[in-house]
Amino acid sequence: MSTSRQTLLQTFLRERDTLLRRIQRMVSSEAIAEDLVQEAFTRLWQRELPQDSPGLLYRTAQNLALDYLRSQKVRERHQQQDPELTADRPNEADQQAIAAQECDALAATLHGLPERTRQVFLLNRLEGETYAAIADKLGLSVSTVEKDMMRAMLACRRCLQQMRDER
């Protein structure tokens, strides 16, 4: 890790709680503030910064919060102009509940797959392994890995489609 990234990480860890409180006051949501602070860190992490700059971290997070607030105002304006467009959309809490249900259903689907198929899927999707690396690691052909991935992806798609059809 470069020294500028080490410095950024140390600054972020040192300033995180204060920054989080400040952004939370701006957006009135702890979860959104967490996301914005993390996004600010991620954006700065991708850049090589020459010095310790907590001010840049604060400014980036504040700008993200302001962008979020502006987009919320635009959404509210659109909802007021045409409430029918948003009447069928679930609110944030409903969306989180739906996402949790989908995650649970996908986990159950994955547990129902054959062990090798599940292992291939998890190595690719969670570990980021290539098909060739998975084939080497598990002593399989690339073609077998491809077939297992197709089987797992098809099972996941069916699971999600079934859930959507039930809504």
Domain membership of residue 37 as a residue range = 3-84
Question: What does the pLDDT read at residue 130?
Answer: 93
**Cβ contact 61:20 at 8 Å:** no
Higher local confidence (pLDDT), 47 or 15: 15
CA 84-31-37 angle, to 5 degrees, is 115
- 61 and 96 fall within a common domain: no
- 106 and 50 fall within a common domain: no
Residue 108 CA to residue 89 CA, distance in Å, equals: 27
If pLDDT is split at 50, 70 and 90, which confidence band does 5 have? Answer: confident
- Among 48, 69, 84, the domain boundary falls at 84
- Among 27, 58, 84, the domain boundary falls at 84
> Contacts by 58-61 with C-beta closer than 8 Å and gap 24+?
58/15, 58/19, 58/22, 61/19, 61/22, 61/23, 61/36, 61/37
Q: What percent of the chain has a predicted confidence (pLDDT) above 90?
A: 42
Q: Which CA distances in Å does 54 have to 13, 36, 64? A: 11, 15, 15
Q: Which CA distances in Å does 158 have to 56, 60, 96, 145, 164? A: 46, 41, 21, 20, 10
Q: Tell me the pLDDT of the chain averaged across its residues.
A: 86
- 110 and 145 fall within a common domain: yes
Whichever domain contains 48, its CATH number is: 1.10.1740
pLDDT for 96-131, tens place per residue? Answer: 888 888 888 888 999 999 999 999 999 998 888 999
**Cα within 13 Å of Cα(160), Cβ side:** 10
Residue 17 CA to residue 149 CA, distance in Å, equals: 41
Q: For tokens 């079934």, what's the residue?
A: 162
- 119 and 149 fall within a common domain: yes
Task: Give pTM, 2 decimals.
Answer: 0.47
Question: What does the pLDDT read at residue 165?
Answer: 86
- 94 and 56 fall within a common domain: no
Residue 119 CA to residue 43 CA, distance in Å, equals: 33
- 78 and 12 fall within a common domain: yes
If pLDDT is split at 50, 70 and 90, which confidence band does 84 have? Answer: low
- 15 and 57 fall within a common domain: yes
If pLDDT is split at 50, 70 and 90, which confidence band does 135 have? Answer: very high
- 119 and 57 fall within a common domain: no
pLDDT for 30-55, tens place per residue? Answer: 889 999 989 888 888 877 665 666 78
Instruction: Flag whether pLDDT at 82 surpasses 80.
Output: no
Residue 100 CA to residue 120 CA, distance in Å, equals: 24
If pLDDT is split at 50, 70 and 90, which confidence band does 164 have? Answer: confident
- 7 and 80 fall within a common domain: yes
- Among 28, 57, 84, the domain boundary falls at 84
Question: What does the pLDDT read at residue 12?
Answer: 83
Question: What does the pLDDT read at residue 75?
Answer: 83
- 59 and 106 fall within a common domain: no
